[in-house]
Amino acid sequence: MQPGVNDTIAAIATARGRAALAIVRLSGTDAVDVAARVFSGTNLNEAPSHTAHFGYVKGKDGDIDQVVATIFRAPRSSTGEDVVELTCHGGDLAAQLILRRLLEAGARPAGPGEFTQRSFINGKLDLAQAEAIADLIHATSTAAHRVSISHLRGRYSHLLSELRQELLDVAALVELELDFSDEDVEFADRQRLYDILQRAEELLGRLLGSYTLGERIRDGVRVVIAGRPNAGKSTLMNALVGFDRAIVSPTPGTTRDEIEAEAEINGLRFRFVDTAGIRSTEDAIEAEGVRRAQKAIESADAVLYLYDVGRCLDDDQRRFLDGIRTSQPALPLLLIANKIDVAGKRVDEGVLPMSALQAMENESALRPVIDWLMDAVADNLSSSDGSAIVMNQRHLAHLREAKQAVVRARLQLDSGHPGDTFSLDLRAALEELGAITGEITNEDVLDQIFSRFCIGK
């Protein structure tokens, strides 16, 4: 944790570079007084909360810039402390000079995420909500934004808090029984205990199961486009991303290295990888491209395998596809018979007939591929509000430990073990859930979490 949690911090809250406006923020016990020392206009020390005041920031040699000072007095502020936001003209210089002047007037530079950290310390938001702010800042797709906003609004925290409270009630009754162990009394109904533990196990299982989708929402979905040379892979990628990212040529072996391009589809960010045509070759450079294509499939979230419907699949291609299915049985793989507009042949069941060339001009020709991708890697995304989707690795670890503790408690209840060991497992689950929302934490964890934030947030 940064030193001096009650002192006044200052930082630029907007990105560097040319812009219409920039914001310099202060938070702390003396935030208003520090701002008043450099502000020419209204007496900010007498200004009520939630008011804006036009004036100038004074430098030692004259005015620095024309600004609007907005006052938020504790506890009705984002950090729970007195907060002042000085909105100046954009660009690097004015904001930097104003920050320097505030530091001269008694503020100190804020550390990474220190404003948000103070919001957490002062009870304005819990730890999961604070982490959602970082996720929101780093969001690169509509889906990531939607999940982050849901977590920031507290829906995810509410889900965990309800579960934790129910387990806490159970733990209190069980520990009460331990205090009267000599009298052989039961305060907790065993069937109710079992039902609560079973519901907790199911909910934790759903949350853990959501992480694969959450990881894809956070990092993007890696889709490898593979197949023989001249099968239409580059044309398909260009159709998927909406522009000519890959070179398209009738000459086999044009693509010799991985080419990546990104596109947002149905709110989710996809990273498409156009690979070298997979075939036996004497060309050393092309052979390396083939090796890299095979390696790319190993780290893919989904694979689109194209073949020329006019040439059909040969035995080598079938062996290659069987190898993928054997080594990566859970990897979604769509077999596409391309150039159907030229050959006009029937294809086997489970194979998608299409024309990548037509898909360049007609979005409806691409729709079956997009529908398959969404079903394969983002099932139920559109129907979820994001509150039960886990994107955070720290949360994943705590949820996993919490579920294991709940399972142990349920098994002990089944076997009639004494209440003391049962109580220990309940306490372990409570601690793991509390660590997610910050009800139980330590300074090392806080420092690690808030170090991810930018300065000024």
| pLDDT at residue number 257 | 53
pLDDT per position as a tens digit, 413-429: 777 665 567 788 888 99
Domains belonging to the chain, first-starting first, are 9-125 (3.30.1360.120), 133-210+389-438 (1.20.120.430), 221-377 (3.40.50.300)
Better-predicted residue by pLDDT, 23 or 455: 23
Helix (H) or strand (E) holding 286: helix 284-298
Q: Using CA atoms, how far apart are residues 379 and 384, in angstroms rounded to an integer?
A: 10
Whose tokens are 């320097």? That residue is 100
Please, which pLDDT band fits residue 189 given cuts at 50, 70 and 90? low
Instruction: Give SS3 for 24.
Output: strand
Instruction: Check whether 401 has a pLDDT greater than 70.
Output: yes
pLDDT for 431 beyond 60: yes
Residue from 342, 274, 262 nearest 304 by CA? 274
- The whole-angstrom separation of Cα 316 and Cα 351 is 18
Lookup result for tokens 């929101």: 136
Running DSSP on this structure, what letter comes out for residue 105? T
pLDDT tens digits for range 249-305: 344 444 445 688 889 998 899 999 988 655 554 544 445 555 666 788 888 999 999
In angstroms, what CA-CA distances link 116 with 4, 15, 97, 125, 440? Answer: 15, 17, 24, 9, 18
pLDDT for the residue 126: 94
Give residue-wise pLDDT tens across range 70-117.
Answer: 999 999 999 999 999 999 999 889 999 999 999 999 999 999 999 999
**Among 450, 405, 451, CA closest to 429:** 405
Write out pLDDT tens, residues 351-379. Answer: 999 998 888 888 888 999 999 999 999 87
Of 35 and 245, the one with more pLDDT: 35
Say if CB 367 and CB 391 are below 8 A apart. Answer: no
Longest dimension (CA), the chain: 87
DSSP, res 454: P
48-57 pLDDT, tens digit each:
999 999 999 9
Is it the case that residue 244 has pLDDT exceeding 60?
Answer: no
